[in-house]
Chains A and B, each alone.
Chain A
Amino acid sequence: MLNINTIGQYIPGNSLIHRLDPRTKLLSLLITIVLVFILDEPLSLGILALGIITLTITSGIKPKMFWQALRPVVIILMLALFLQLFFTPGEKIWAIGPLTITREGVINSGVVFLRLVVMLLAAYLITATTSPNELTHGLEKLLKPFGKFGLPYGEIALMLTIALRFIPTLTAEAERLIKAQEARGADFNAKGLTNKAKAVLPLIVPLFINAFKRADELAVAMEARGYRIGAPRGKLKPLKFNFVDYLIMLINGLIAVLLIIIKLRGGFPA
């Protein structure tokens, strides 16, 4: 079986973060990502990282689970760290053969590392604590004001819902097909580009055919239930901001403003 505990997997729970309005979470994510790019000091980024890690722990997701989900990106993280560490020109502090480590290199790699960690954890946290449905409803609501300027927010939300809904289905389907073709002796670990391309053919062709068939069936099912693009639609669970949501947005905003002010005034006092 494919490891189902990957990035983007929703992990049901009942923590404070799970219960927040998805819009609160999306806006907080936006603030975090903007902050990550504005801030360039290890200390302020460190504070941010610490905050996100604390939030992840309070969400009730076991450290083992998020380590498993994030493990695949560790290599990319390490690569970024390595490149920054050795290839930043500046004041030399250490040298092994042709490799030199500079002061600027250490700071830069720290900054890059913290930026990536903050963004990955924040994105992981939001998808892990928000069901795909909530996520798209939140996004739809947030995009609605842009509808005046011609943004097809309803369609965007629908496409997102369908895409998110079918990721696990298609993964399961691919998994099943791999098993079926393996049983027929197919070797998906073939060497060489041509062989590799040939090897995936028995997987890709049926996968596409089935996906198109599914899309057809879905369209028929939706039409049968009276779906029309742009028709006014009710919600099973209308989104509502609570006191906690306002509070959290306020805290987030304050932290962001504070960190930006500190940066504008020349960094943390030494």
Chain B
Amino acid sequence: MPITLNDVSFLYNPGTTLEVKALNRLNVNFKEGEITGIIGPTGSGKSTLLMLLNGLLKPTAGEVTVDNLSTTNKVNLKAIRQKVQLIFQYPEHQLFAETVWEELAFGPKNFGIEITEQKATLLLEQVGLSEQYLHSSPFELSGGEKRRLAIASVLGISPKYLVLDEPAVALDPLGKETIYNLLFSLKKQGVTVIIVSHNMDEVARLCDKILVLDRGNLIAFGDKNQVFLKLLEKNVQGLSLPVYAEVIKLLRERGFNVDPKFSLEETVAEILKVVQNNAKH
């Protein structure tokens, strides 16, 4: 059994006047080997959900289990945190070591894994960084490189589940591309990936499954296309659609008979269908 949320609710500052309900009775089952995207407007509880997944937060009610280990039980925490690696927004802000190698070795060392120079080079290669950085200071790298280093520093722990909060935000197109490719190759290696993103095109491209949150409630969870179809019909305030879905939506509104698609190729195919139909008449 991978990561399961069983009737999970979460309150901040319960019992005080500052009480905030962040999540409301969530039931979710994250499948292994898939990329799941969590979307929702600001304040919908996405970040809270992420921190519940590796036991940084404990549910106020309900239970979160990782491979049948409950996060509520303190004894399981170390094992759970090794399995589920959480990468926060702007992970480049958490770098601290004197050299890139030490940065890469920090996390694994805490879990009793030794990182040799060879292994460190491999990790750098995985995120597309040159091995000549190995002995330089992490603070000499550019913003995008720092981000990739921060991600690599977690990969050394060989997590089974990788949870990322906005992994590609504020990167240049090339930097984004590197991150996407990394996530795809991790998926191929059997890592279960969960990301939070505000960028719908990114979600449409990367994810197999999508989970929609709105003010702490689960609005939809399922296959990417089904969820986007649902969002096409029902507008959630603060959520946009992938740009291809918007194109299809406009075409349909203008009376063209096209099917909803959510990727570049499929959308072009649909448009060509219309064009060729017009040419025939």
Contact = CB atoms under 8 A, between A and B. Distances in A.
Query: Is chain B's interface secondary structure helix, strand, loop, or mixed overall?
Result: mixed
A206 B85 contact: no
B88 interface: yes
B16 interface: yes
A64 B106 contact: no
B110 A186 contact: yes
A183 interface: yes
Interface in A177-216: 177, 179-187, 201-206, 209-210
Nearest to B107: A184
Interface string B24-46: 00000000000000000000000
A169 interface: no
A68 interface: yes
Given A5-B16, A5-B18, A187 B96 contact: no
B86 A1 contact: no
Interface in B67-112: 78, 81-82, 85-88, 91, 93-97, 106-107, 109-111
B110 A185 contact: yes
A209 B139 contact: yes
B9 interface: no
B232 to A, nearest CB: 35
A180 B81 CA distance: 11
B96 A180 contact: no
A213 to B, nearest CB: 9
B interface, size bucket: 20 to 34
B56 A182 contact: yes
A182 B17 CA distance: 29
Interface in B150-205: 153-154, 157
B106 A184 contact: yes
B118 interface: no
Nearest to B112: A185
Contacts of B78: 185
Contacts of B4: none
Given A176-B88, A184-B106, A210 B157 contact: no
Given A183-B56, A185-B82, A206-B95, A4 B18 contact: yes
Contact of B94 (A5, A68, A180): A180
A240 interface: no
- Residue from the set A202, A204, A210 with the largest chain B CB neighbour count within 10 Å: A202
B52 to A, nearest CB: 12
Given A176-B88, A206-B95, A210-B93, A65 B110 contact: no
A65 B16 contact: yes
Given A1-B12, A62-B17, A210-B93, A182 B81 contact: yes
Closest 10 CB pairs of A and B: A185-B110, A205-B96, A184-B107, A183-B86, A180-B94, A202-B96, A185-B111, A180-B88, A206-B96, A179-B56
Given A180-B94, A185-B109, 16 more contacts: A1-B12, A1-B13, A1-B57, A5-B13, A5-B18, A64-B16, A176-B88, A177-B93, A179-B56, A183-B56, A183-B87, A202-B94, A202-B96, A202-B106, A204-B96, A206-B95
